[in-house]
Structure 1
């Protein structure tokens, strides 16, 4: 599959965009007209620059509002087209995107439309270029890709074909199966975009909320499968209109874009395999190394320069100190199979923050290879000859992700590097890491969703929005089918986001235990400072659930929170915050699989009050 991307997807100047696309590994680009018009480079310089970067110039776009017009406007449009065709010759681009008319069309008869497109095709042929006609989802008379293709067939000119754009097809919920019946030689170009499911007019949806494949909810794998069956072998290019992407770092966005196309190839191939497809397909759909989902959390890591407060908090929770690593400035604390590493290599002016998460995987080397093919940066880690070698990659928010060798019993051989486990001090019985909650910068939230779903095979659940005193917090759960791994990504309001190691938005690690009440009582005796829950919460709780009075008193006494659904119940409590990190202890009863979402506004409000008070 030849990969491409429209320059409109990225921030920066045309020169910066071209450099970023080449660095990310794209085969070619689409030149968006505004990027050329505003560029200091001449068309000849753009052509030379692309050649030097190893990029093909695959499409010039967009040419708008050509068809369905009166004769006077048609003549003007043909003059305009001739000028653009000359420009394309200077650029060395042989294909132009012509969108179905949305503004000036007054004649919707197919015979008229075909006749006008025929004149455009004749003109294009004389200039040695091709026209890719695209049905915009909001086109006045042509808004359906099958309608556009019928017009192309009616014209039957070698210089006229169609452009298939996944957004314009899937936003209208058109069936993609008819793509298979198309003549591949008449498909001149393919553009792909994903999008979240939103209740908006299609134009606004398209202009502001497109995302890269894998970051939305469109069925792009099926779209790619149907396309592959046609025999199409041209570029598959990204055309993404997104306000955030146009403000984000150009090189990072280009890498995220390339990752999405690599992922899309795999998804298309998987869809075909699921349909029993075995024949060789002209559209090359390369597959990444297949890896199963992670089998669990191996550890979580907090980096801190001053570790005293963290050590005290973990001891009060019931964690056992396993001591220091024999060669590294790190400590290990355990409670059952829950392992927390304190990394002491933080800069002296930084506050404690979650810095790494370890996942148990079946084959760390294979999983790392997959992640690297998906453009994940490698995290270097120094090890001695007799120490466990972790495969490390960096997530979009700079959290280090380590891929560890999973074991059936959940043990970890590397803990022996901290010395033997003290006899009779397992510290917490069957405790495990239940979930990890990570804050995501606003400009990299969609990137993080794609990263964890593509590189770690986690599944994105429908996102939720949680009220806080400073605005809505968007919460995105990423998990495995058996929920052995639950990762929660939070997009905090801008007012709560900080920079680098001193980010203000709080993150946490949640640990699951069998008896939360007993855990809380023991922690209270050790002097644990709980997050204090307002009395109003318990009055509301009593109104929502018919709880036994003694149980409600226990919840109130220990600052425990409670939720219940048809599958089970959920008890949890929070600690005070150290730096930007706090901990949560949970108990899941029955088949409850949520996170106590009704309680989240309470936590946010209490933590906000504490931050305002400086405590």
Structure 2
């Protein structure tokens, strides 16, 4: 495993997800980009909902998510806004519920049409990276066998390769078929394409193997804390020793609140409990969370990875009911806490 020197961490490029800042209608995309840039981040993950919101603000009416004839010019304008704020677009996200649909189904046809449209947006915003989240469509509607999943992602990877684009596959801890880092790594390895790699995430990794929002302790039920700590440590050692650094395209950074009272173990608004947790209860590091996110970051760094660290947080407060803040101060604090995380991960700091 590669040692984690502080000098090597100082060169890590830092990004911020555009969907991870703002708490009201007045926090428009131009204001968000300005705050992100002023805080010292050099790039963004461009969120597709932000493209839709910006289109509505500028055009005065809602745009359908599949109306790429109208969305592409809006995306080009967003590229100009990023340029004006000295920001690049590191990645377009989140491309979801793509893989597993039955062949010949309307849903599968729509998934590939969406991919074509998102590729057109990638061209105009200047990014070569598409994030794909492991589908959370119910298993009653999709094929979850590994062969189907691998085949679909390989086909998408080949579509992207025609444009010299890459696919970053992420485990979502509430995913139907790939909630953990091992799941997505096994899939990426089976896809076996040079432009298909991983989007790892401190929340998704710790949230799938260590935390549980439906538990009164915040920990996975039925496992003694000392055994859970041992198992999670072994998992992080395995990640550090088995995943090649060039197959990691980025590490997203966020923590989680321990939900009190715990979330009910049921689907709400179409989301499983961990999906609800992800949607509203994810603060930045050192701001009220409890997951072992430094352990995840160290494991990724031990592989030798020194690529993008990207802040992706969804902080609606400890009760998930909303949180008011000022954009510039929030973005500045995010940068300070990102730097603290890097320093804490170094073995020689």
TM tier, smaller: 0.7 to 0.9
* Distance verdict in 2 for CA 1:120–1:246, change over 3 Å: farther
Question: Which structure is larger by alpha-carbon Rg, 1 or 2?
Answer: 1
Identify the residue that residue 23 of structure 1 maps to in structure 2.
38
Partner of 1:84: 118
Pair 211,259 (structure 1): closer, same or farther in 2 beyond 3 Å: same
Query: 1: distance between equivalents of 2:167 and 2:244?
Result: 16
Are positions 1:124 and 2:160 aligned together? yes
**Corresponding residue SS for 1:57:** strand
Provide the residue aligned with 1:187 in structure 2.
Answer: 248
The 1:152/1:235 distance shift into structure 2, 3 A limit, reads same
**Aligned-residue offset at 1:246:** 6.2
Q: Does 1:237 align with 2:269?
A: no
State yes or no: 1:60 paired with 2:132: no
- C-alpha separation in 2, matches of 1:207 and 1:47: 26
C-alpha distance in 2, partners of 1:80/1:221? 35
Cα distance in 2, alignment partners of residues 14 and 160 from structure 1: 29
Distance 1:43 1:125 in 2: 21
Deviations 1:400-446 (A, max 9, x none): xxxxxxxxxxxxxxxxxxxxxxxxxxxxxxxxxxxxxxxxxxxxxxx
- Take 1:45 and 1:196, find their aligned partners in 2: how far apart are those partners? 36
Q: Distance in 1 between matches of 2:248 and 2:187?
A: 13
1:56-114: CA deviation from partner (whole Å, max 9, x where unpaired)? 21111101101111112323211110110111101101111111111265211111110
Q: Please, what TM-score do these two structures have when normalized by structure 1? A: 0.43
**Counterpart residue number, 1:405:** none
Question: Which residue, 224, 232, 237 being the options, matches 1:177?
Answer: 237
TM-aligned CA deviation for residue 239 of structure 1: 0.9
String of CA shifts for 1:177-210, please: whole Å, max 9, x gaps.
2221201111112101111233333122211111
SS at match of 1:233: coil
The reply on whether 1:211 has 2:211 as its aligned counterpart is: no
Distance in 1 separating the partners of 2:306 and 2:344: 17
Q: Pairwise mapping of residues 468-487 of structure 1 onto structure 2 (< 5 A)? A: none
Identify which of 162, 166, 179 aligns with 2:198: 162
Contact 2:202–2:297 under 8 Å retained in 1? no
Deviation at 1:42, TM superposition (A): 2.3
Would you say the 8 A contact 2:205–2:296 is kept in 1?
no
Mapping 1:435-450, distance limit 5 Å? none
Asked if 2 retains the 8 angstrom alpha-carbon contact of 1:62 and 1:99, the reply is yes
- Distance (whole Å) between structure 1 residues aligned to residue 155 and residue 108 of structure 2: 10
Alpha-carbon separation, structure 2, partners of 1:169 and 1:109? 22
The 5 A counterparts of 1:348-387 are none
Q: Given the two structures, how large is their TM-score scaled by the length of structure 2?
A: 0.74
- Counterpart of 2:162 in 1: which secondary structure? helix
* Structure with the larger RCO, 1 or 2 (CA within 8 Å, 6+ apart): 2
CA contact (8 A) 2:131 2:167 kept: yes
Q: 1:109 to 1:155 in 2, by over 3 A?
A: same
Q: Find the counterpart in structure 2 of residue 250 from structure 1.
A: 327
Q: How many Å separate the matches in 2 of 1:252 and 1:178?
A: 38
Pairing 1:133–2:206 present: no
State the alpha-carbon separation in 2 of the partners of residues 121 and 247 from structure 1. Answer: 40
Contact 1:166 1:223 in 2 (8 A): yes
